[in-house]
Amino acid sequence: AKNLGPRSCVTFNEGMHAQAQKNLRTLNQLQKAIESKQFTVHYQPIVHSPTTTIAGAEALVRWNHPKHGLLLPGAFIPVAETSKLIVPIGEFVFRQACLDYPRLKELAGSPDNFTLNVNLAAAQLNDLRLSRKIVDILHETQREPQDIKLEVTETDTARDPQKAARTLHALREIGLKIALDDFGTGYSSLSRLIDLPLDTLKVDKCFVSELNNNAQKRRLVDLIISTGEQLGLNVIAEGVENKTQVTALFNMRCTFIQGFYYSRPVAVPQFGILNCTNVPP
Ligand code: C2E
Ligand code: CA
Ligand code: CA
Ligand code: CA
């Protein structure tokens, strides 16, 4: 929902009414979906391009809807984020990633330091019980904290920067890794990069998609990668769809690649098969 400020005036029109009703229906169904375990997690490989090996994966939730089939997060995560429902959904994804970890690592060819990235929503960042819950789930699933990397967006950490920093420092203290997601798309300042205890920077797909036909965007990607490098962070480029982008990123010293070029997000049994195993960049 947009924050329209205290003095703005909106007319509640038909369209908005329909949308509000739809969101309410979705919230209702989401509540039931949590209870009846209709969510599932797909994994998209994060590939080290020079060796074409899988270094890790991002966990991405899907909703196995009884009527509409497999729904992508765009159809329900933004609605879930308007309520507290995102908290149990996020917890489910975290636990499922921990449970799937050994199998995925094996399917990836058992690389050292195999890491699963799990998205964290703003409401989870503000949940005081978050680190306790995470410690419990790690213990219950017998995972090491360094097996998991939590992805937070710039926008989510900007809502209450001090609180976000405190939460993330506590999680980092436990041993989890932290990635800043969608970097460069929000309004935050560069100082966020040093205020937060980051391991990794993710270059957003909106920059990657324009890499080869927009010189200014290419310079921006170069700048983001160098900045990450200077600060000692790992850099992952996301939304990489073709070989030309892989090569351009390689030349800018970004070698961790996530995108349809190598693999779409897949269910566990399909994990480990890359589209482009033939040639390094
Ligand atoms: P995100 O965190 O930026 O995740 C990356 C999205 O980019 C995924 O969309 C992925 O399928 C898509 N993608 C990957 N490679 C490519 C590519 O080469 N080209 C293009 N065009 N897209 C690519 P998906 O799975 O639909 O997820 C959308 C968003 O939903 C995620 O964006 C994330 O913000 C949110 N989300 C997904 N799972 C979770 C979750 O468990 N918790 C929370 N809080 N949010 C989640
Ligand atoms: Ca993400
Ligand atoms: Ca992202
Ligand atoms: Ca994104």
Question: Tens of pLDDT along 235-276?
Answer: 999 999 999 999 999 999 999 999 999 999 999 999 999 997
Q: Whose CA is nearest to atom 13 of ligand 1?
A: 239
Instruction: Report the pLDDT value the prediction gives residue 78, as an integer from 0 to 100.
Output: 94
pLDDT of 84 > 60? The answer is yes
Ligand 1 atom, smallest distance to 86 CA: 44
CB 246 within 8 A of CB 236: no
Rounded distance, CA 213 to CA 81, Å? 35
Whether the ipTM is more than 0.85: the answer is yes
pLDDT of 137 > 50? The answer is yes
The number of CA neighbours under 13 Å toward the Cβ of 56 is: 21
H-helix or E-strand spanning residue 64: strand 53-65
Rounded distance, CA 162 to CA 166, Å? 6
Q: What is the Å distance from ligand 4's center to 59 Cα?
A: 13
Ligand 1 atom, smallest distance to 42 CA: 25
Q: Whose CA is nearest to atom 19 of ligand 1?
A: 239
Q: What is the Å distance from ligand 2's center to 140 Cα?
A: 24
Encode pLDDT of 169-223 as tens digits. Answer: 999 999 999 999 988 887 767 888 989 999 999 999 999 999 999 999 999 999 9
